[in-house]
Chain A
Amino acid sequence: MAVAGEYADGQSSRVVPATLSVTGSGIVIQTEAGTKTYPADAVTISSRLGKTPRYLTFPDGAQFETPDNDGIDELLAAQVGRSGLLHTLESHLPLVLIAAIVTVLSLAWVVTVGIPRGADYIAHNVSQEVVDKLGANSLQLLDRTVFEPSELPTDRQAEIRAFLQPIIDRHSNVSLHFRAGLPNAYALPDASIVLTDGLFDVLKSPDEIKAIVYHEIGHVEHRHLLRRSLQGSAIAVLLVLVTGDLSNFDLLVGLPALLVDLSYSREFELEADRYALDALAEAGMDVTDFRTALVKLTGWYDVDEVDDSYLLHYLSTHPHTEERLGQVLDDTQD
């Protein structure tokens, strides 16, 4: 039995038709120009891969290329050995189906449970010192780039500070800052909580403002910023592993990463809401203050522009207000 293919000596790009057979003295390559015999154990055979051709490389640098995969497997069974194991796995439909299901399920588990839990574990076992170092200067950086000084009168600032300070003081690392801007509140990596001037146009009652501050403290206490960057890195690594290489890191691969990151962000918002509700209850305050604060804030943005379509939900960093209010409602019924 012989296998037909092409023989190239590796010195020039010249390729000649050849046949390969196995005799007592070794592997015999026969071309128009003559025959060449190689010891049977000196050949390197590429592992089988789909319908791609098989390459046999000899010690003198010559190569025999053939599309006849079955012929090579049969003729050189001893040399091929178990290198065909992967091909077996890759070409059996039931095995591939099982692989597909296991892959999808394990990926789903990794994304929804594994990564968040791992990040949570790491974030809460990192010492406060490291967390401080990671977030150092984040307020200064934002002051230099996007934030503008608050235009709130100093007496109004003092008035707000007066009723928020007792809450802030209970968390040693947290600090409070006022800046200009549309109604919003931020928790920064250095545990600075930033309230914008716009916030006080929308929320007048101290209890509502306190509720929002509790929500931001929730982000700090749960180390959400650290967890989000850990989870983002993990997703990036996972995508590289799944798609094989970074060079194919195009929009189609980046989009799922973005959607997953945003869904993590929404989970953190709900967790911070949860924290705020518990803190309000503990302080003996009315949890509905949080509800009215949320409604007022969303109301303010709704008037302006926000297109609350179903599709946009997956592209937003915050959950739907109804979803967040659901949690509040559950709480009021307790």
Chain B
Amino acid sequence: MTETSAFKDEQTRIIPLEFRGDGFEFFKIWIVNILLTILTLGIYSAWAKVRTNRYFYSNLYLDDLSFRYLASPIAILVGRIIAIVFLVTYIVSVELLPGPGLAVALILTLVMPYLIVRSIAFNHRMSAYRNIQFRFHGTYGEAVMVLLVWPLLGMLTLGILYPLALLRVNQFIVNNSAYGTSRLTFNATYRQYAILVFSFIGANGLGLLVGWSVPLAVVEQAILSVVIFGLIFVWFTANATNLYYNSTSLGDNHFDADLETVGLLKVYTVNMVLIIVTLGLYLPAAKVRLARYKAGHIRFVAVASIDDFVAAEQEQVSALAEEMGEAFDFDIGTL
């Protein structure tokens, strides 16, 4: 059997992503995580993180095969300890030394892109599907451009260039990602992001106007704003997620997403109500519900065979940068 003949026999296949996790099952894992984290004064949190990530990766199926999270808890723990040392040093230097605090903040701003690149690289390398790991090839220079320069230009132009900044950051993330040796590509346009961003800004302005024009008591006013801005937020999330996946390809294959505002709103509302009613105990089940909804609305359209992706060579990526990024609360949403 040659690969070429197998390739010709393949028809275009639409393969849905599928999340098979169960809310109650994850609740049990979550509660044990918290208990052991408390009993070990936080040390178990590294194991808790790995078990949580493993649960969400391994319950995500594509073509009946699961994704896998590979990080070892020890690597995460070491990274966490070093990150905490840095965090404490940072807080103390900022609080106690007003002058140098500014210098520290500046250094941190320049270090941040590096931490983010290493953090994405670590997470990609620790993700596998069909025993092939993902890779990230982003560089520090590119990261400085998309994380510092473009957002700054977006602000200086009063938002006109902001869609471009958003496009650039997503291009940076997707175009530098690879499944084994195969690069992913991002082909969204400025126009698509402009429509998304300016509709979002316009809707918020309109929401503000409506909120102001209706004379109501404090509590009702608060509820009205939550409803209006919540709705806009959900609409934006659904559309931004769709644009992100619909613009992402892997070779001739591509993703296809159709999250709906109403469906996502239902998920968020049910989750929020149940989390409040159960005083937070529903949180794990809420995460499962959201993951299931998202997976249910994303498909992989395979034009060629998905047997032919080749593994990249081994390289070492430490957990340190990732955990540093986490401790300093740097997180860029890929939506």
Does any Cβ of A come within 8 Å of B148's Cβ? no
The smallest C-beta distance from B272 to any residue of chain A, in angstroms, reads: 6
Q: Known contacts A89-B32, A99-B35: does B218 contact A52 (CB below 8 Å)? A: no
Other-chain contact of A90, B29, B130, B217, B271 (Cβ < 8 Å): B29
* B96: chain A residues within 8 A (beta carbon): 130, 133-134
Contact B307 A136, beta carbon cutoff 8 Å: no
Q: Bound state CA distance, A137 and B95, in angstroms?
A: 12
- In the complex, how many angstroms separate the beta carbon of B89 from the nearest chain A beta carbon? 15
Chain B residues with CB under 8 Å of A136's CB are 98
Chain A residues whose C-beta falls within 8 Å of the C-beta of B307 in the assembled complex: 12-15
Instruction: Kindly list chain A residues whose C-beta atoms are within 8 Å of the C-beta of B297.
Output: none
Query: What is the interface size of chain A, counting residues whose CB is below 8 A from a CB of the partner?
Result: 56
A247 and B26 in contact (CB under 8 A), knowing A9-B131, A12-B132, A307-B217?
no
In the complex, the answer to whether A65 meets B65 with C-beta atoms within 8 Å is: yes
> Among B52-60, B170-178, B192-200, B258-266, which stretch is in contact with chain A?
B52-60
B35 touches A103 (CB 8 A): yes
Q: Does A312 contact B (CB under 8 A)?
A: yes
Instruction: Assess whether A158 is interfacial by the CB under 8 Å rule.
Output: no
Residue of A9, A93, A137, A240 touching B98 (CB-CB under 8 A): A137
Given A13-B308, A52-B55, are A244 and B49 neighbors across the interface (CB < 8 Å)?
Answer: yes
Q: Chain A interface: which of B17-25, B103-111, B161-169?
A: B17-25
Contact among A103, A247, A309 with B38 in the assembled complex (CB-CB below 8 Å): A103
Central interface residue in A61, A243, A309, by most chain B CB within 10 Å: A243
Cβ contacts under 8 Å, B29 to chain A: 49-50, 90
Residue of A nearest to B220 (CB): A307
List chain B residues, Cβ under 8 A from A264: none
| Chain A residues near B55 (CB-CB < 8 A) | 49-50, 52
Interface check A165, CB cutoff 8 A = no
Say if the beta carbon of B254 comes within 8 Å of chain A: no
Partner of A50, one of B22, B95, B218, B329: B22
Measured in the bound complex, the distance between the Cα atoms of B43 and A241 in whole Å is: 10
B219 interface neighbour in A248, A249, A309, Cβ under 8 Å: A309
Q: Is B205 an interface residue (CB 8 A)?
A: no
Interface residues of B in 119-138 (CB under 8 A from A): 129-132
Identify which of B31, B95, B275 contacts A100 (C-beta below 8 A).
B31
Expressed in whole angstroms, the Cα–Cα distance for A12 and B54 within the complex equals 22
Determine whether the beta carbon of B54 is less than 8 Å from that of A10: no
4 smallest CB-CB distances across A and B, nearest first, come from A52-B58, A8-B131, A13-B309, A63-B131
A-B contact pairs, 6 of them (CB 8 A): A9-B131, A13-B179, A90-B32, A99-B32, A107-B38, A134-B96
Binding site for B on A (CB under 8 A): 6, 8-15, 46, 49-53, 55, 61-63, 65, 86, 89-91, 93, 96, 99-100, 102-103, 106-107, 110, 130, 133-134, 136-137, 240-249, 252-253, 256, 305, 307, 309, 311-312
Chain B residues within 8 Å of A, Cβ to Cβ: 20-22, 25-29, 31-35, 37-38, 42, 45, 48-49, 51-52, 54-55, 58-59, 65-66, 68, 95-96, 98, 129-132, 179-180, 217-219, 271-272, 275, 280-281, 283, 286-287, 306-311, 326-327, 329, 331
Q: A49-B58, A52-B66 are in contact. List 15 more A-B contacts (CB 8 A).
A: A12-B180, A13-B132, A49-B29, A50-B55, A51-B22, A51-B25, A52-B58, A90-B32, A96-B28, A99-B31, A99-B32, A133-B95, A241-B34, A246-B326, A253-B283
